[in-house]
Chains A and B, each alone.
Chain A
Amino acid sequence: MEKKIRILIAKPGLDGHDRGAKFIARALRDAGMEVIYTGIRQTPESIADTAIQEDVDFVGLSLLSGAHNVLFPKVVEELKKRGAEDIIVFGGGVIPEDDIPFLKKKGIQAVFTPGTSINDVIDFINDKMNGKNR
């Protein structure tokens, strides 16, 4: 029995700064997970379609251009439209603390701001997986 955690790391919108996303992808791989990385300039629709085709457990969104309040909830919405609310969405990037309550209300379950340790992300993922398996 070899269940692996599958995660989609995506950059919605036009922002091209991918250092953070690439680091997370690599670090999660090193933590034993299977990471699908879509690259930059993804639309919320294509992120949702990809998440479903890949049967991921999580979608991690990275955005540094300030468009997170519009684009992150859009991804959650598109997943819902496709009957995939069980996929857990989290985000990171240049996101002011003030915006986090709004994002959480819109279904983004965690927001990792600059200076977050990768261990926090991994702990979040493992906790959620344990919750799912119960």
Chain B
Amino acid sequence: MNKDDIRKEKEKWENEVLKPFLAKAPERNNLKDSSGKNVERLYTPLDYEENYNEKLNFPGQYPYTRGVYPTMYRGRFWTMRQYAGFGTAEESNERYKYLLKQGQTGLSVAFDLPTQIGYDSDDPVSEGEVGKVGVAIDTLNDMEILFKDIPLDKVSTSMTINATASVLLAMYIAVAEKQGIPADKIRGTIQNDILKEYIARGTYVFPPKPSMRLITNIFEFCSQNVPKWNTISISGYHIREAGSSAAQEVAFTLADGIEYCKAAIDAGLDIDVFAGRLSFFFNAHNDLLEEIAKFRAARRMWAKIMKEKFGAKKAKSMMLRFHTQTAGSTLTAQQPDNNIVRVAIQTLAAVLGGTQSLHTNSRDEALALPTEDSVRIALRTQQIVAYESGVTKTIDPLAGSYYIETLTDKIEKEAFEYIDKIEKMGGMVAAIEGGFVQKEIQNSAYKYQMEIEKGERIIVGVNKFQIEEPPVEGLLRVDMTIQEKQIEKLKKIKENRDNTKVKNILSELEKKAKGNSNLMPTILEAVKSYASIGEITNTLRKVFGEYKENIVL
């Protein structure tokens, strides 16, 4: 059947079958995607301009729409990597060992806010925050405890750390060294994505220019010394969590990626040297089909951007490899067990979208950090999809679906429009400083929230199907004495270390920061001498200054 025939038949169907049916039974309202655009009743070959070789091609081949590897999950499942960390390094170490025993295949470290923002546990601004959203790391000593009895040559570790990534990476390298493992053998990722901090997450320290310098220092240092390390996880997760649409998530993430590549090239690095180690981090949201299309669009777009804009030659440079986390903001405090179902659907989205690694949220997400039971169920969700659902037996199974392919094209088009707009503004840093990105996200978030308030968007258990429920019991509580314990520990470290050495290395760091050299070797020396994260960050604060938030409401 050619397109004209289909068109004729569609009209016939609309008049003879659909219209009379609608007259008796109308459709529901508000059937829209995350950008607010209507989702059509039906997708047919009429909606989609097919071109298999150009638009899809084969997995592991440009433009990688169908997946970055030729065998995908038939060869190896995605890495099951649950984000974890809380309280002391000792407790987190226990949780890591538990998860590894339960079949998790990679570690993911969550740090507390003072660590993420470069404040020691004894700093007055850290009051109440120590050990709450992640593990408290003040010195190398804490890092050593965190990875005690965990062989760093056998696991890959992802660290969610941004403004202070250089310090934590240096600590990780130092711990591995102590375990007798050379830096060129360790595998892992640091998030190291400062642009999204300015946009959506808030754990920035320095202004954009010096932050970019630190990031490119890390690119360079790792390309020479830690080749197996993924030096950045360019993140859309938080942008989505802040309320953006799917197309905005892709657009702003890739625009951030473009900005990092530009910075690295300006710093003298060759695109094919560092691009292969860039990785991405996306959100897996509720709308199953839109999410799958989103991931495919992102892969195709990045491949095009790397080839056409940056002239990358290596295949690895053009592959968009990504980690996914299921959408925390969609989980509810009401009837928390429902969240297990939400996460299962979001897991499917990520897997059918071809993710390389996945974190699934626990059912108590809206209430507290997860209990052991909750996090085990979250891990089991991944395992059930992997082993029991059958979707991993074939690659990119939804390819060729009229809806999925149309939507993939649509998201790509919308996202590229945003990227072009941002380019015209002078790039992502300029767009962020002008508040453009934040405004787009906030408008989207406001719209979404008002739809919920008005009942146009249903959240099961929250604005429909509510029940009277007693407060949830058995939530995880972070020990309140943790701050005191850390302060004690820090005091002892400061007493027992060579304080002259620390003073000298910090003043050397200050000097080097004022110049242009790569700061990683000096930071590595500083952590090895047990300088604290606060001491190191404050030294850099003196030279670089602090970023001031740009509020757009």
What chain B residues lie within 8 Å of A26 (beta carbons)? 442, 446, 553
What chain A residues lie within 8 Å of B119 (beta carbons)? 14
The reply to whether B129 and A65 form a contact with Cβ atoms under 8 Å apart is: yes
At the interface with chain A, which of B22-30, B392-400, B471-479, B485-493?
Answer: B471-479
What chain A residues lie within 8 Å of B475 (beta carbons)? 96, 98
**A60 on the interface (CB 8 Å rule)?**
no
**B220 on the interface (CB 8 Å rule)?**
no
Smallest Cβ-Cβ distance to A18: which chain B residue: B202
Given contacts A19-B445, A96-B471, A115-B333, contact A67 B129 (CB under 8 A): yes
Q: Can you report 12 A-B residue pairs in the complex whose CB atoms are below 8 A from each other? A: A13-B129, A14-B126, A15-B129, A16-B202, A18-B202, A19-B243, A67-B127, A71-B128, A96-B368, A115-B334, A115-B366, A117-B463
Interface 1/0s, chain A 106-122, versus B by CB < 8 A?
00000001110111000
What chain B residues lie within 8 Å of A69 (beta carbons)? 128, 480
Given contacts A15-B113, A19-B241, A67-B132, contact A115 B553 (CB under 8 A): no
Partner-A contacts on B (CB < 8 A)? 113-114, 116-117, 119, 125-129, 132-133, 197, 201-203, 241-243, 329, 332-334, 366-369, 442, 445-446, 449-450, 453, 459, 462-463, 471-472, 475, 478, 480, 549, 551, 553
Indicate which residue in A41, A94, A117 contacts B366 across the interface (CB closer than 8 Å). Answer: A94
The reply to whether A115 and B449 form a contact with Cβ atoms under 8 Å apart is: no
Most buried by A among B113, B445, B471: B113
Given contact pairs A16-B201, A39-B551, A40-B549, enumerate 9 new A-B contacts (beta carbons under 8 Å): A14-B116, A14-B125, A22-B442, A66-B368, A94-B367, A94-B368, A96-B367, A98-B471, A117-B453
How near does chain A come to B454, taking the closest CB pair, in angstroms?
10
**A76 on the interface (CB 8 Å rule)?**
no
What chain A residues lie within 8 Å of B116 (beta carbons)? 14
The reply to whether A17 and B125 form a contact with Cβ atoms under 8 Å apart is: no
The reply to whether B117 and A14 form a contact with Cβ atoms under 8 Å apart is: yes
The reply to whether B445 and A23 form a contact with Cβ atoms under 8 Å apart is: yes
Bound complex: CA A39 to CA B204 (Å): 14
The reply to whether A37 and B551 form a contact with Cβ atoms under 8 Å apart is: yes
**A50 on the interface (CB 8 Å rule)?**
no
How near does chain A come to B210, taking the closest CB pair, in angstroms?
19
How near does chain B come to A20, taking the closest CB pair, in angstroms?
9
The reply to whether A97 and B471 form a contact with Cβ atoms under 8 Å apart is: yes
The reply to whether A70 and B127 form a contact with Cβ atoms under 8 Å apart is: yes
The reply to whether B551 and A114 form a contact with Cβ atoms under 8 Å apart is: no
What chain B residues lie within 8 Å of A66 (beta carbons)? 129, 132-133, 368-369, 478
Count A-side interface residues using an 8 Å CB cutoff: 34
Bound complex: CA A119 to CA B449 (Å): 12
Indicate which residue in B113, B333, B459 contacts A13 across the interface (CB closer than 8 Å). Answer: B113
Bound complex: CA A41 to CA B123 (Å): 14
What chain A residues lie within 8 Å of B551 (beta carbons)? 37, 39
Smallest Cβ-Cβ distance to B119: which chain A residue: A14
What chain B residues lie within 8 Å of A15 (beta carbons)? 113, 129, 133, 202
Bound complex: CA A27 to CA B448 (Å): 13
The reply to whether B113 and A43 form a contact with Cβ atoms under 8 Å apart is: no
Residues from 8 to 41 in A contacting B, C-beta threshold 8 Å: 13-19, 22-23, 25-27, 37, 39-41
The reply to whether A118 and B113 form a contact with Cβ atoms under 8 Å apart is: no
Smallest Cβ-Cβ distance to B549: which chain A residue: A39
Smallest Cβ-Cβ distance to B369: which chain A residue: A66
Bound complex: CA A16 to CA B549 (Å): 10
Bound complex: CA A98 to CA B473 (Å): 9
Bound complex: CA A96 to CA B114 (Å): 22
Most buried by A among B332, B369, B449, B462: B449
Task: Identify the 10 closest CB pairs spanning chains A and B, nearest first.
Answer: A16-B202, A70-B128, A67-B128, A97-B471, A14-B113, A66-B132, A114-B333, A114-B366, A115-B462, A67-B129
The reply to whether A19 and B462 form a contact with Cβ atoms under 8 Å apart is: no
What chain B residues lie within 8 Å of A16 (beta carbons)? 197, 201-203
Given contacts A94-B368, A97-B472, contact A113 B241 (CB under 8 A): no
What chain B residues lie within 8 Å of A18 (beta carbons)? 202
What chain B residues lie within 8 Å of A22 (beta carbons)? 442, 445, 553
What chain B residues lie within 8 Å of A17 (beta carbons)? 201-202, 241
Bound complex: CA A14 to CA B201 (Å): 11
What chain B residues lie within 8 Å of A27 (beta carbons)? 449-450
The reply to whether A37 and B471 form a contact with Cβ atoms under 8 Å apart is: no
What chain A residues lie within 8 Å of B462 (beta carbons)? 115
The reply to whether B471 and A65 form a contact with Cβ atoms under 8 Å apart is: no
What chain B residues lie within 8 Å of A97 (beta carbons)? 471-472
How near does chain A come to B104, taking the closest CB pair, in angstroms?
24
The reply to whether B132 and A37 form a contact with Cβ atoms under 8 Å apart is: no
Bound complex: CA A21 to CA B472 (Å): 25
How near does chain A come to B502, taking the closest CB pair, in angstroms?
25
How near does chain A come to B139, taking the closest CB pair, in angstroms?
19
Most buried by B among A14, A17, A37: A14
The reply to whether B117 and A25 form a contact with Cβ atoms under 8 Å apart is: no
What chain B residues lie within 8 Å of A114 (beta carbons)? 332-333, 366
What chain B residues lie within 8 Å of A19 (beta carbons)? 241-243, 329, 445
